[in-house]
Structure 1
Amino acid sequence: MTTEPTLRPERPFFSSGPTAKFPGWSLDKIDTRSLGRSHRASYPKGRLKYAIDLSKELLGVPDDYLVGIMPGSDTGALECAMWTMLGARGATVAAWESFGNVWIQDAAKQLKLPNLQILDADYGQIPDLSQVPQDNDVVFTWNGTTSGAKIPNTDWLAPGRAGLAINDATSAVFAMEMDWAKLDATTYSWQKVMGSEAQHGMLILSPKAIERIESYDPEWPLPKLFRIKKKGKLDRAIFEGSTINTPSMLATEDYIAALEWAQALGGRQALFARSNANAQAVFDFIEEKDYLRNMVADPAMRTNTGVCMVFQGDWYESLSAEDQANVPKKIASTLEKMGIGYDFNGYRDAPPSLRIWCGATVEAEDVKRLLPWIDWAYHQLKDGKL
């Protein structure tokens, strides 16, 4: 018998994307002077450039790297990198969760790369990345958004390697330090770790990636949204605020507000600390409960953003597969109806699980208040009361 908790999260937002708005967010924090204007006009274009510059500063991106705003969220940015750069040499795509598997499908079925190595692993694990040839271009997801498994380090990427490293970092940036010296094309979306509005992604290019774009023309046709080259050279205007298509200035201003909040907080190190504290609260909770385990067995590979937990134990294992799948669904839906926590059921293609977003826009106190409710709901369900 578990007593019903009394404290409720003040902000019950635990979705892994779009994630919670930053604490203190409100509509009156949004600069609306760019709305209703051409994105090519000086003030709106300046705001786009400001979003780029502030992103670069907060993330510690090297001066000789370029940062641009792309359409289509992280997917648009990552696929632009794949479509424009892959095919010049052998390629490896490594995946250990659902979004990484999309990049495998892109490489194998859409681009039909001839010299393709696929490395994959089940949810909660990562493949042996030491198998990636240093001459190959490699596409990988820094942090598995739907599995909670991240790369523990970049030791498997040799300094000065011949191939490009294309990094989907959408649920990692602003929560984990990026090893920029080993990354050539890095992408992320506004609605993940910073909790901003969706539809726009960021593409960060190293000098080596720029050289590849300018020296290589892929065999396949490029949609307009992926055409970042002009007269044989990278169109650098894209990286100065002249976006390929019309951006949402409202979404841009929302992203700027989040970046300014992060800057005032103390920059990326302060964001890292908040994510780490939130994740640690969940890790400790999982360790205390004999009916739970972290989906990721190796602590070095556990994310500090979308922490995933799965159920275990005699009662759970006595259930049918259908009933096992309903355990996290029932807990999450019950607590959502009660206004305790929103959107923390596991990803639809992942093993039955709960996934709590622990990024910096979530308050540690809210995470700590949610966890006893999960324990209560589990015991209510086990006792046949839900």
Structure 2
Amino acid sequence: MTDILTAPDTGAPNADGAKPATKPARPYFSSGPCAKPPGWDAAKLATASLGRSHRSKIGKQRLQYAIDLMRDVLKLPDTHRIGIVPGSDTGAFEMAMWTMLGQRGVTTLAWESFGEGWVTDAVKQLKIDPIVIRADYGRLPDLAQVDWSTDVLFTWNGTTSGVRVPDAEWIPDDREGLSFADATSGVFAYDVDWAKIDVATFSWQKVLGGEGAHGVLILGPRAVERLESYTPAWPLPKVFRLVSKGKLTEGVFKGETINTPSMLAVEDAIFALEWAKGLGGGGLIARSDANAAALDAIVAARDWLGHLAADPASRSKTSVCLTVKGADEAFIKAMASALEKEAAAYDIAGYRDAPPGLRIWCGATVDTADIVALGPWLDWAYAVAKAS
């Protein structure tokens, strides 16, 4: 399609669908791996640990430093341990499931594809019979239904649905079961009440804009007690084993990883964490909030755009999922493709299992000015798709 008109870059809707004059400076809106932190450059990464054993003095120092930075930025209390584990968030969450479930009943909450994945693991792989509480894409289930005499598995922020839990107030202090939070799109973007969380997992590739393949496992004291007092009926692969002779393998939470990590990925995460620390307390949350507000203003100004998550109280501020009036999968693909060809926005098509729509990452590593600049480009791409 040949464009004749060029619209001024005001952030306001382009009624005629003209191509905007200015593009987002960093058009990286993928929901994972996500945009690198502002100012990131591979040449800025520390390299002394590269080519060295992860068990060398410097290797262990850098791994421990990454753990210390995560604790600092997350405001994680000393009661909770942090371990770097293989397999990204998926590996970390499955490690938690395989090592701790089976001691009591299990409740799984599913309102998007990853929550459904934990249901599948529980039923088909671990062969336990969980209580399953579901909600459709864009909705949150009734959290009051949860039986806290069971272990409870949930996603803090549904990356593929744009729906999150509003807070941790629904988790009782006197719970009998453990709370397992897949928090990969939530940590660093929300203020988490860690007293309510027994197990949390995430990867560096989301709000920090780090690399994939490495997961982070956070264990509260009740989770440690479960690990040291309960042995699952099923066999555990080596990369899942967190206990030796009835005691937690503490080295895992002091930089002694179970398997060999990429020190380059560790240095990349350290860069992001140092940037985050430099923003000061709440800096990452404030950036995510500003980005989500800017995108919400774009949606509000266009009658053909909407939020998949209708309730603002449970609407994600990171992986924001949008509906497009009258769009099917082909229409969304045409929009995303047009934007990618213009280098105006990358990877904004919704998740393959979600209803057809757009998904725009608003995490802290994205600049608000780029969200604002994206609005007129969405108009242009919508016009392109309608004309194709």
Instruction: Give TM class, smaller chain.
Output: over 0.9
What does residue range 58-137 of structure 1 map to in structure 2 within 5 Å? 58-114=73-129, 116-137=130-151
Give deviations 1:322-371, integer Å, cap 9, x for gaps: x7221211111101001101111111111101011000000011111111
Mapped contact 2:338–2:384 kept (Cα < 8 A): no
**Whole-Å separation in 1 of the counterparts to 2:119 and 2:205:** 23
1:198 matched to 2:212? The reply is yes
**Whole-Å separation in 1 of the counterparts to 2:90 and 2:162:** 19
Give deviations 1:155-197, integer Å, cap 9, x for gaps: 3211121110000000001101111011000000011111111
Partner of 1:320: none
**Whole-Å separation in 2 of the counterparts to 1:340 and 1:54:** 33
**Whole-Å separation in 2 of the counterparts to 1:297 and 1:259:** 33
- In structure 2, list runs of 5 or more residues that go unmatched: 1-15
1:351 matched to 2:359? The reply is no
Deviation at 1:223, TM superposition (A): 0.6
| Equivalent of 2:179 in 152, 155, 165 | 165
Secondary structure at the aligned position of 2:131 is classed as strand
**Whole-Å separation in 2 of the counterparts to 1:231 and 1:241:** 20
Deviation at 1:375, TM superposition (A): 1.0
Partner of 2:193: 179
Partner of 2:316: 303
Secondary structure at the aligned position of 1:84 is classed as helix
* One-letter amino acid of the counterpart of residue 182, structure 1: K
RMSD of Structure 2 on Structure 1 (CA): 1.0
Partner of 1:376: 380
Deviation at 1:198, TM superposition (A): 1.0
Partner of 1:289: 302
TM-score, length-normalised on structure 2? 0.95
1:235 matched to 2:249? The reply is yes
What does residue range 213-252 of structure 1 map to in structure 2 within 5 Å? 213-252=227-266
Secondary structure at the aligned position of 2:19 is classed as coil
1:276 matched to 2:280? The reply is no
**Whole-Å separation in 1 of the counterparts to 2:204 and 2:333:** 27
* One-letter amino acid of the counterpart of residue 210, structure 1: V
**Whole-Å separation in 1 of the counterparts to 2:140 and 2:291:** 23
Partner of 1:319: none
Deviation at 1:84, TM superposition (A): 0.7
> Where has structure 1 moved over 4 Å in runs of 4 or more?
none
Secondary structure at the aligned position of 2:174 is classed as coil
Deviation at 1:58, TM superposition (A): 0.6
1:264 matched to 2:300? The reply is no
Deviation at 1:40, TM superposition (A): 0.5
* One-letter amino acid of the counterpart of residue 384, structure 2: Q
| Equivalent of 2:345 in 338, 341, 344 | 341
**Whole-Å separation in 2 of the counterparts to 1:252 and 1:353:** 34
Give deviations 1:1-44, integer Å, cap 9, x for gaps: 23321111111100000000000000121111011111111111
Secondary structure at the aligned position of 2:331 is classed as helix
1:255 matched to 2:259? The reply is no
Partner of 2:30: 15
Secondary structure at the aligned position of 1:266 is classed as coil
* One-letter amino acid of the counterpart of residue 32, structure 2: G
* One-letter amino acid of the counterpart of residue 301, structure 2: E
* One-letter amino acid of the counterpart of residue 259, structure 1: L
Give deviations 1:238-264, integer Å, cap 9, x for gaps: 000000000000000000000000111
TM-score, length-normalised on structure 1? 0.95
**Whole-Å separation in 1 of the counterparts to 2:375 and 2:302:** 11
* One-letter amino acid of the counterpart of residue 130, structure 1: A
Mapped contact 2:306–2:324 kept (Cα < 8 A): yes
Secondary structure at the aligned position of 1:331 is classed as helix
Query: Percent identity over the alignment?
Result: 56
Q: How many residues align?
A: 373
* One-letter amino acid of the counterpart of residue 263, structure 1: K
Secondary structure at the aligned position of 1:18 is classed as coil
Deviation at 1:112, TM superposition (A): 1.0
Partner of 2:4: none
**Whole-Å separation in 2 of the counterparts to 1:305 and 1:122:** 19
Partner of 2:9: none
**Whole-Å separation in 1 of the counterparts to 2:374 and 2:181:** 32
Deviation at 1:289, TM superposition (A): 1.0
* One-letter amino acid of the counterpart of residue 262, structure 2: S
Secondary structure at the aligned position of 1:93 is classed as strand
Give deviations 1:172-227, integer Å, cap 9, x for gaps: 01101111011000000011111111110110000100000000000000011100
**Whole-Å separation in 1 of the counterparts to 2:322 and 2:346:** 16
* One-letter amino acid of the counterpart of residue 322, structure 2: M
